[in-house]
A and B are shown apart, each in its own frame.
Chain A
Amino acid sequence: MSASLPVELCGLSLPHPVINGSGCFDAIAARRAFGDELLERFPFAAFVSKTITPEARTGNPPPRLWETPAGMINSIGLPNKGLRGFLEQDLPRLAELPVPLIVSVMATSREDFGRLVGKVAARPEVAALELNVSCPNVHSGLIVGEQPAETEALLAELRPLTAKPLIVKLTPNVADPAAVAVGAEQGGADAVSLINTLKATAIHPATQRPWLGAGRGGLSGPAVRAVALAQVAAVAAAVAIPVIGMGGIASGADALAFIASGASVVAVGTESFRDPAAGARVAAELEEALAKCGFEDPAEARGMALQSPSQSEKRLQTEEPIGRSAR
């Protein structure tokens, strides 16, 4: 038995359900290292850009990295060329990629967010936008994404600006990510993606001061996978819009677990650092994993791990709360 991989995400037809996590792959820099072989063997079904902000940012002071057990902490600080630099210099290069382009944007005010979304969405090279309301490296990023009402209000303001899909990247650093996902959905989001990195820090072994230049950062890699699965399941049970699941995915078996937990599409992040072609490998392994479990395609496996609403309600009364608690 074999499985087929094509999926649809917000009207985009993708040959397989594996994309990259924002900020975890720079296609322009990778082309400098690997040349056009990168385009011939592009590992992702869609490409998500690094987050663009209204003005250019240089990023956080080093050190920016710390290796943890089965993972890493990053404290990069969203270095980017700003809206203008992105549109003039980066977008034409990213348009050469053989896959749909999703541009990640972040701003600290609704006005700036609106300006970003308007200008980026107006470019024909852009297939969809991801709204970064969750980057834990920048204080302002936390404000909206921690609050369901704030998230809903931001989406309500941005929704009329474009017909292109708006994906909300959720932060895991809240007690109830499903409530924020519901806010995003009610505000008009087309999809949600999660998880972003978990707030984390490391201590310098000699000085006992924070190791990272910015003091703290975000944890990623297999270390966060179990947390990510639970959050993806909770969000998928609470919303009807598609969920893009990520957090420590390193194999096709991992990807299938996220799909079973309700994800329509999955993203590879940290594993690409270890293996630049990891996205394509995960997709190939997913096909095998689906077939092995007797699924014809990702849609058939989607949500297998989710409990029915009645079971969830019962569980809420007797055990720790899993699944939706809002709405």
Chain B
Amino acid sequence: MTERVLAPFGRRLCEVVENRPSRGYRVFTLLDVSGPMPAAGQFYMLACERRWQERVERPFLPRAFSVADALQGEDGLRLDFLVEAVGPGTTRLGGVEVGERVWVNGPLGRPFSTPGEINPAVAGAVLVGGGIGVAPLALLRRQLADRGVPTRILLGFRDREHSGGVEDLFACCEVRLASEDGHAGHQGYVTDLLAVVLEGDDPAGAAIYACGPPAMLEAVRAICAARGVTCELAMESPMACGFGACFGCAVPLAGGGYMRLCVDGPVVAGEQVETALVAGSGHR
């Protein structure tokens, strides 16, 4: 799983075959007839064919989206993306209509490692997701299940509106939930659940995989660092290109300097980064 799947060179048009609501989010499905099966944690740069910098000022640049699920169908690869309308790009993509087409460049970036690759002594996995960040964990869960890796899933949300994706992407499996408003599961943060899980665990028992808002990722990184547990974080940083050309998605390294999140990430080991609080993640 560590080997990144290479993207076909150049962008391609993929048809929208489904777009359904998922509480406050949307899940849309693209039919990719020529691209390869992605590895969990990889992402795609997406831009609508129409009404993208066409009689509108923004969006101009494509937007990076982790792939939430990928299923090989008879007619091609069906790629699921989870989207929350938070700016002009996500609003446009969330509103795509079945039959229209989207420019796709990907799969891109470094995927999640297997638990054994992270630490040969580790057999299991704990997936920690928050909000819209649950997306890449859905494909990771599927790919870990295919390998017979015992996996526990912890998901946290602000409120019911922001818990889209749970029923859609994790319908098949047992998940432990946390919500800030207490509407489902533990009232509080998903990192509370992680702390409890790690209490009863041998530190080398499971590898931690996390994706979510910067504050959640930073909490996961700190909890794991304090306990000497290895973790991988799927991070986000504003990027213009997704393939190392623009140097925009700089994330500070623990040892000084920066990495480009698009080619050196988006999945990073917790100890690689100084902090998971990425500057500039608010501009969408």
Contacts and interface: CB of A to CB of B under 8 A. Distances in A.
Nearest to A280: B10
A86 to B, nearest CB: 15
Given A37-B9, A275-B11, A62 B243 contact: no
A61 to B, nearest CB: 7
Contact of A72 (B9, B60, B278, B280): B60
Interface stretch (B147-155, B224-232, B248-256): B248-256
A72 B245 contact: no
B130 interface: no
Contacts of B250: 59-62, 64, 76, 79
A26 interface: yes
B212 interface: no
Contact of B60 (A23, A29, A70, A277): A70
A206 B11 CA distance: 35
Nearest to B281: A63
A24 B245 contact: yes
- Range, interface on chain A: 35 or more
A160 to B, nearest CB: 34
Question: A interface, by DSSP: helix, strand, loop or mixed?
Answer: loop
Interface of A: 23-26, 28-30, 32-35, 37-38, 40-41, 50, 58-72, 74, 76, 79, 206, 211, 213, 221-222, 270, 272-277
13 contacts: A25-B245, A29-B263, A32-B244, A33-B244, A60-B250, A63-B238, A70-B60, A74-B246, A272-B245, A273-B61, A274-B11, A276-B10, A276-B243
Contacts of A273: 61-62, 240-241, 245-246
Contact of B7 (A25, A34, A270, A272): A34
Given A30-B244, A33-B6, A76-B247, A65 B60 contact: no
Given A29-B243, A33-B108, A221-B60, A64 B280 contact: yes
A59 B257 CA distance: 8
B239 interface: yes
A69 B9 contact: no
B53 interface: yes
B187 to A, nearest CB: 28
B225 to A, nearest CB: 22
Given A34-B7, A61-B279, A275 B103 contact: yes
Given A34-B9, A37-B9, A276-B9, A65 B248 contact: yes
Nearest to B247: A76
Contacts of A40: 9
B60 A33 contact: no
A102 B226 CA distance: 48
A63 B280 contact: yes
Contacts of B6: 33-35, 37
Interface string B49-82: 0000100011111100000000000000000000
A4 B282 CA distance: 47
Given A74-B246, A275-B11, A277-B11, A213 B279 contact: yes
